[in-house]
Structure 1
Amino acid sequence: MTARVDHLVTSGTFSLDGGTWEVDNNVWIVGDESEAVVIDAAHDADAIAAALAGRALRAIVCTHAHDDHIDAAPALAEATGAPVLLHPDDLPLWRLTHPDRAPDGELSDGQTITVAGVELTVLHTPGHAPGAVCLHAPALGTVFTGDTLFSGGPGATGRSFSHFPTIVESIRTRLLTLPPETVVRTGHGDSTTVGEEAPHLQEWIDRGH
């Protein structure tokens, strides 16, 4: 059976540094009719489980540990038996949301996660968060970028644990080097392509946001 990408939008809040904001999150499900992985279990474990439609969940992959991307991960793991995977550099952020429940496994740069015959390669892309990762699926012509790269530029770097020069370097060296037709599936908002974003790198640097 052929692997596909399913898309779910869930709504909730993002809290950090004493502020709270309403947000809509993209939840990505990669798999076929029998198995899948979830990228970013945001806000609503029941809705994500329903979208799985009985498929075996192999992993819950966290692109980073801001609360809006991981708040439903423990409940989804409990419901499905799937392990929660996170880059260890984001454990301090994870503990702000889930102090009593650690992730089940670690993500590391270059690691591959295979589901439905498709390989997802982990790219460590710090900047928005220390342990931020993207997942490149060449066979699907796509990269899942979490909050590292959006349609229109880099993810936010104005809060704790973030750093603008680092995110720009991550995008420049790890994402803009991918084939230009690669579809960029983001943590919030619309998808884009590497080719659409690459010409704007210097503008982002000059803007310094």
Structure 2
Amino acid sequence: MSGAVRVDHATASGTFSLDGEVHEVENNIWVVGDDTECVVIDAPHSVEAISSVVGERKVKAILLTHAHDDHCKIAPALREAVVAPIFLNPADRPLWEYAHPQDEDGNLWDLDLPDGWSITVGEGDEAVSLTALHTPGHAPGSTCFHSSELGCVFTGDTLFNGGPGATGRSYSDRPLLEASIRERLFVLPEETVVHTGHGDDTTIGAEKAASADW
């Protein structure tokens, strides 16, 4: 038996670089799957840290919420280690190329990640799906992954415990980010758990209630 699908979590530390600035950051590692197969959400800092969460499971996909380097720089190395395709919204190509300057000639991610696309993890009645929600603003291709069966959404840097992700950097747009959150995330059930790219979990209801202070 493969068991029920679960969310496994760890963290990894490293740097985030953009616009000539470098910052120390700690990222969440999220792996969704049963005892046999899984998907990895984002590729922060350490192949070893992610692989330790994956264990012996087959990785069906590496799903990138966006292409800031702290979320994707090691994605090609992780792809080689776990033998799984990288999915990314193509609107983030400029950020991917910033994180992987050697890839400007076309060595990119494997498959484009369109809005509404979904992937299934697990078997039979215990299978769950993750659906891509395009939420531009923090980055042009920012994408969240919602699972109604698990009652959670993985938001990358779109929505945190405490409000919207950062803007003010290249390719970011605060009004667009707020619109994405209100139109794509705040319509989810309020009890939906928000698994973020950095920091603690929250819920849609908590962040919706606090949004009047944005």
Q: TM-score range by the shorter chain?
A: over 0.9
2:58 is matched with which residue: 56, 59, 69? 56
Contact persistence 1:63–1:132 (CA under 8 A): yes
Q: Which amino acid in 2 is paired with 1:175?
A: L
Q: Does 1:129 align with 2:139?
A: yes
Distance 1:35 1:127 in 2: 32
Q: CA deviation at 1:145?
A: 0.3
Which deviates more from structure 2 when the two are superposed, residues 99-108 or residues 1-10? 99-108
2-structure distance, mates of 1:6, 1:132: 22
> What is the one-letter code of the residue matched to 1:26?
N
2:112 to 106, 125, 140: 106
Distance across 2 between alignment mates of 1:85 and 1:123: 13
Q: Which residue does 1:27 correspond to in 2?
A: 29
Aligned to 2:190, the other structure's residue is in SS state coil
Q: 1:37 aligns with which of 24, 36, 39?
A: 39
Same amino acid, percent of matched pairs: 58
Instruction: Tell me whether 99-108 or 158-167 shows the greater mean CA deviation.
Output: 99-108
What is the rounded CA distance, in whole Å, between the counterparts of 1:81 and 1:190 in structure 2? Answer: 30
Moved more, 113-122 or 132-141: 113-122
Letter in 2 for 1:17: D
Matches of 2:47 and 2:181, distance apart in 1: 30
**Which aligned pairs between 1:77-156 and structure 2 lie closer than 5 A?**
77-99=79-101, 100=103, 101-116=107-122, 117-156=127-166
Q: What are structure 1's unaligned runs of at least 5 residues?
A: 205-209
- Does residue 163 in structure 1 map to residue 185 in structure 2? no
Q: Comparing 144-153 with 95-104, which one deviates more in the overlay?
A: 95-104
2:170 aligned counterpart, secondary structure: coil
Amino acid at match of 1:109: D
Once the two structures are superposed, residues 151-199 of structure 1 have per-residue CA deviations (whole angstroms, 9 ceiling, x without a partner) of 1100001100000000000000000110000000000000000010101
Deviations 1:26-67 (A, max 9, x none): 010000000000001100011111211110000000000000
Question: RMSD of the TM alignment (CA)?
Answer: 0.7
Counterparts of 1:169 and 1:202, CA distance in 2: 13
**1:89 is matched by which residue type in structure 2?**
A
- TM-score, normalising length from structure 1? 0.96
Q: Distance in 2 between matches of 1:129 and 1:52?
A: 27
The question of whether the paired residues in 2 share the 8 Å contact of 1:172 and 1:201 is answered with no
Greater shift, 78-87 or 99-108, is seen at: 99-108
Shift in Å, 1:202? 2.6
CA–CA distance in structure 2, aligned partners of residues 49 and 71 of structure 1:
15
Could you tell me which runs of 5 or more consecutive residues in structure 2 were left unpaired when the two chains were aligned. Answer: none
2:68 and 2:99 map into 1 onto residues whose CA distance is: 8
Give SS of 2:39's match: strand
**TM-score, with normalisation over the residues of structure 2?**
0.94
* Aligned twin of 1:207: none
Give, in angstroms, the shift of residue 200 of structure 1. 2.1
